[in-house]
Amino acid sequence: MTYSIFMQFFCYHNGTFVLQNSFGIPSSLLGFTRGYAAFELIRTYDFTPFYLQEHLKRLENSAKTFLLEFPSHLEEIIDRLIKKNNHPNVVIRIYLSEDESGKSHVILFSEPIVFPDKKFYEKGMPVVTTSYTRTFPLVKSTCYLSAIIALKEAALQNAEDALFTNGEGHLLEFTKSNFFAVVQGTLYTPKEGVLFGITRAIVIELAKQLCLDVKEDVIHKKDLPFIEEAFSTSTIREILPISKIDQTEIRLGPITKKLQSAFLTLKSNLKIDCLL
């Protein structure tokens, strides 16, 4: 579906639906003045949220970590927002925060999905490693400072994303997505120091269904020359191949293609709800 720049989307704030272009963020809201907010991103396929319960469970865990109130009626709010906007395929961003007085705020924005360039799915996306990491890696929050700086530095190197590494040289995750690599025919993804993405979990399950050897284990930067395939996973990207990490060229191989095909079948066959 093509979206017109004149289309208006509704958002939600503490019980009220308003047009986004007329919504003013409270100046005292700590989620936007101090980065103190639990955040979740959901997308829809044909008006149906993809893996909604998994997203809400992760958001609830993030809220608990940040000592924020988790509203019990979020599913109803999402359903009403989808119906009010009346667009089949959108992204919904959920923010749970407080203002300076301690009052809870629930904010939902909805907007068209901005996809990566089609050429990256066909040829792969170049990335670079960075020594930056995320604060509270197990929590999805509005604290994106390290990701923003890493992305700017990546752009200066003609790369499309940055791959976080820790002090031990472990490859962790991208600025807004998870990391997978194939080494000697085995599919690896980090299991520590990363956000446990919903699409990440789906891909692990699909790999097992395809009888692929998959391990949640350390991937070291020194092993870059031995990586046979690599890809990024996220709600928006789905499965996006990586063509280059720093100076290491990587091909688009059979395991990545199999998983892309399996994910496409999953979307086609599921009455999008909860698989895992």
- Residue 276: inside a domain: no
Q: What is the pLDDT of residues 123-136, one digit of tens each?
A: 999 999 999 998 88
Residues 128 and 151 in one domain: yes
Q: What is the pLDDT of residues 26-49, one digit of tens each?
A: 889 999 889 999 999 999 999 999
Residues 155 and 190 in one domain: yes
Query: 29 Cβ partners below 8 Å, 6+ apart?
Result: 97, 98, 99, 105
Residues 150 and 263 in one domain: yes
Q: What's 16's domain CATH number?
A: 3.30.470.10
Residues 69 and 160 in one domain: no
- Residue 193: inside a domain: yes
Q: What domain range includes position 217?
A: 118-269
Residues 170 and 240 in one domain: yes
Residues 124 and 108 in one domain: no
Q: List the single range of 167-181, 209-223, 262-276 with lowest mean pLDDT.
A: 262-276
Q: How far is CA 5 from CA 2, 81, 112, in A?
A: 10, 19, 10
DSSP 29: B
Facing residues of 181 across strands?
Answer: 188, 230
What is the reported pTM? Answer: 0.92
Residues 108 and 124 in one domain: no
The single-letter code of the amino acid at 149 is I
Number of domains in the chain: 2
Residues 130 and 63 in one domain: no
- Residue 164: inside a domain: yes
Q: What is the pLDDT of residues 212-227, one digit of tens each?
A: 999 999 999 999 999 9
